[in-house]
Structure 1
């Protein structure tokens, strides 16, 4: 039996701002942006190459108001990911080299934090 993570909810305070951040600023695909009623709006955004999306909106109540997520994503090249974010004006830290990977960190306007990890295969000598 497979268990596939397909959707991670985020709490956001301003849906339009989040659509602009993820869609226009970062350049991820805004798959759905549906307003069903003034009390219900659902937005789904997917990073390029990902089988898992994020969602946020109004009236979906998946996350408590004011909460935040920490999401880790695997990327092929941390330096390229950093350059992509910086070119788009996203405030982010430089690449952090750790024994288990190379990381780039950023946050959205609501404090949801992201870690982009380039997996590094350790080389053993001896």
Structure 2
């Protein structure tokens, strides 16, 4: 039996502003945008190359800006970071975990290179460099 994570809800304050951030600044594909009622609009967006999407506008029971640690794995963190910064995203410099558990500048070994950013509401995202998967 396969268990595939396909959609992760992300609480946002303003669906339209969040949709623009995720689609225009992060480059996510807007899969669908559905106005369910006068007060409820649900938008599903997918990162390029991902099998998992996020959904904004759905009632998550959480306050906007409370999601942390969503990870986007890329094969070239420097290029991904530069692309996001070029689109106006405030993204940290590349960092890695040192042996004492603190963050240090630059890349570490395999799977040990990270850059951090937040969406307009403060939901926290992580870029992580991983090896190519063929």
TM-score, reference length from structure 2 = 0.82
> What residue ranges of structure 2 are gaps of 5+ in the alignment?
96-106
Instruction: Give the C-alpha shift of residue 78 in structure 1.
Output: 0.5
* Distance (whole Å) between structure 1 residues aligned to residue 79 and residue 43 of structure 2: 27
* Distance (whole Å) between structure 2 residues aligned to residue 72 and residue 98 of structure 1: 17
> What residue ranges of structure 1 are gaps of 5+ in the alignment?
121-126
The count of corresponding residues between Structure 1 and Structure 2 is 118
Instruction: Give the C-alpha shift of residue 63 in structure 1.
Output: 3.5
* Distance (whole Å) between structure 2 residues aligned to residue 66 and residue 77 of structure 1: 30
Runs (4+) off by over 4 Å: none
Q: Deviations over 1:42-96 (max 9, x none)?
A: 1000000000000011xx3124224521201211110011111111010010111
Within the candidate set 124, 128, 131, 1:117 is matched to: 128
Determine which structure has the larger strand proportion and give its number.
1
The alignment status of 1:2 with 2:2, answered yes or no, reads yes
Q: Which residue of 2 aligns with 1:53?
A: 53
C-alpha contact 2:77 2:128 (8 A) present in aligned 1: yes
TM-score, reference length from structure 1 = 0.87
- Alignment RMSD: 1.4
Q: 1:84 to 1:18 in 2, by over 3 A?
A: same
C-alpha contact 2:64 2:123 (8 A) present in aligned 1: no
Q: Tell me the secondary structure at the aligned position of residue 54 of structure 1.
A: strand
C-alpha contact 1:9 1:63 (8 A) present in aligned 2: no
Q: Tell me the secondary structure at the aligned position of residue 37 of structure 1.
A: coil
Within the candidate set 118, 122, 127, 1:107 is matched to: 118
